[in-house]
Amino acid sequence: TAHPEDHPGEPNKFDKDWAEGNFAMRNLVMRNDEDVVRAYSMASYPAEGRKIMLNVRVAAPPPNSDRNGWSDINPGVASSYIFGRKPGDKVTISGPYGEFFINHSDAEMLYIGGGAGMAPMRSHLYELFRTLKTGRKVSYWYGGRSRAELFYIEHFRSLEREFSNFKFYLVLSDAQENDNWTEKKDINDPNGDGFVGFVHNAVIDQYLVNHENPEDIELYFCGPPMMNQSVIKLAEDWGIPDENVRFDDFGG
């Protein structure tokens, strides 16, 4: 569910789905007696001060057709714990850790994100443009299954309108009929919504094949394990050196 501060009105749109029916998420119960530690990427950036913004997708149990509902196993231990917190509750957080930071150079920056991997991209891109006012060439390719999974879209569209050196592209792997998704002909098509397929393939087919010097790109990515592995292979295939590759691995 989107946070009301950054997505006004959005949480209310999903309230019925969460509260009613055999697949009501609010009816799920998580049982766990062991200490659990999870790593989450920060979506907030330094200029936002002490605010820590995380993008967490609650992991539901698999559906069970015999029960006409969820299987009788735990939902995600950490994600369901977080979704059960109320304003004013206290949690313990340590960090930050990792090496997914901006390399300050003049090289072109190519960002690839998928799913909840949107979080560190928001942090990086807001720091680059809102704080540093970078003049570097930057593009961000984000992949989701359907339009319902997309978020922060207007945030990045706003950056794109404000900064001519930033381009933002969307890719859906399983667009639904009610998405009314119009595929772009190419990256210069002003009329389409985005591309269709897996995000790493769209980057190759729509961008890298026409790039004069892909080996000079700095590549930043974060997403599901399968996407990460595909982008690592992309970097190898297109000659992007290891020192120009940075990724935030949040699972798998």
Q: What is the CATH number of the domain that holds 22?
A: 2.40.30.10
Q: Are residues 147 and 237 in the same domain?
A: yes
pLDDT of res. 252: 46
pLDDT band of residue 6 (cuts 50, 70, 90) is low
**Residue 209 resides in a domain:** yes
What is the C-alpha to C-alpha distance for residues 170 and 176, in angstroms, rounded to an integer?
Answer: 15
- What number is the average pLDDT over the span 54-59? 83
pLDDT of res. 204: 98
pLDDT band of residue 5 (cuts 50, 70, 90) is low
Answer whether 186's CB lies under 8 Å from 77's CB: no
pLDDT band of residue 70 (cuts 50, 70, 90) is confident
CATH number at residue 223: 3.40.50.80
| Least confident among 14-28, 144-158, 168-182, 188-202 | 14-28
**Residue 101 resides in a domain:** no
- For residue 120, count CB atoms less than 10 angstroms from its CB and return exposed for 0-12, middle for 13-18, buried for 19 or more: buried
Q: Are residues 175 and 53 in the same domain?
A: no
pLDDT of res. 8: 62
Q: Are residues 74 and 37 in the same domain?
A: yes
**Residue 116 resides in a domain:** yes
Q: Which of 83, 98, 129 is the last residue of a domain?
A: 83
Q: Are residues 69 and 120 in the same domain?
A: no
* Cα angle value 135/223/31 (rounded, 5°): 140
Residue where the block lists tokens 């009613």:
20
pLDDT band of residue 99 (cuts 50, 70, 90) is confident
Q: Are residues 113 and 238 in the same domain?
A: yes
Query: How many distinct structural domains can be found in the chain?
Result: 2
Query: For a pLDDT cut of 90, what percent of the chain falls above it?
Result: 57
Inter-CA distances, 152 with 207, 213, 216, 225, Å: 23, 30, 28, 22
- What number is the average pLDDT over the span 207-236? 96
Structure tokens at 204: 């190759």
Q: Are residues 113 and 188 in the same domain?
A: yes
- What number is the average pLDDT over the span 2-28? 65
Q: Are residues 59 and 127 in the same domain?
A: no
- For residue 238, count CB atoms less than 10 angstroms from its CB and return exposed for 0-12, middle for 13-18, buried for 19 or more: middle
Inter-CA distances, 213 with 108, 171, 197, 209, 216, Å: 10, 23, 25, 10, 6
Return the exposure string of 37-50: e unless at least 16 CB atoms fall within 10 Å of the residue's CB, then b.
eeebbbbbbeeeee
Among the listed residues 155, 150, 148, the one whose alpha carbon sits nearest the alpha carbon of residue 179? 148
What is the C-alpha to C-alpha distance for residues 54 and 122, in angstroms, rounded to an integer?
Answer: 11
With 60 as the cut, is the pLDDT of residue 2 above it? Answer: no
**Residue 223 resides in a domain:** yes
- What number is the average pLDDT over the span 149-159? 91
Q: Are residues 213 and 149 in the same domain?
A: yes
HSE-up of residue 88 (Cα within 13 Å, Cβ side): 0
Q: Containing domain of residue 43, as a range? A: 10-83
pLDDT of res. 13: 65
Q: Are residues 142 and 192 in the same domain?
A: yes
Q: Are residues 242 and 129 in the same domain?
A: yes
pLDDT of res. 38: 85
Helix (H), strand (E) at residue 14: none
**Residue 100 resides in a domain:** no
| Least confident among 55-69, 109-123, 171-185, 219-233 | 55-69
pLDDT band of residue 1 (cuts 50, 70, 90) is very low
With 90 as the cut, is the pLDDT of residue 105 above it? Answer: yes
Q: Are residues 114 and 164 in the same domain?
A: yes
pLDDT of res. 19: 67
Answer whether 103's CB lies under 8 Å from 231's CB: no
pLDDT of res. 182: 95
- Mean pLDDT over all residues of the chain? 88
Q: Are residues 61 and 113 in the same domain?
A: no
**Residue 129 resides in a domain:** yes
pLDDT band of residue 18 (cuts 50, 70, 90) is low
- What number is the average pLDDT over the span 58-69? 80
**Residue 179 resides in a domain:** yes
With 70 as the cut, is the pLDDT of residue 45 above it? Answer: yes
In the chain, the amino acid numbered 150 is L
**Residue 1 resides in a domain:** no
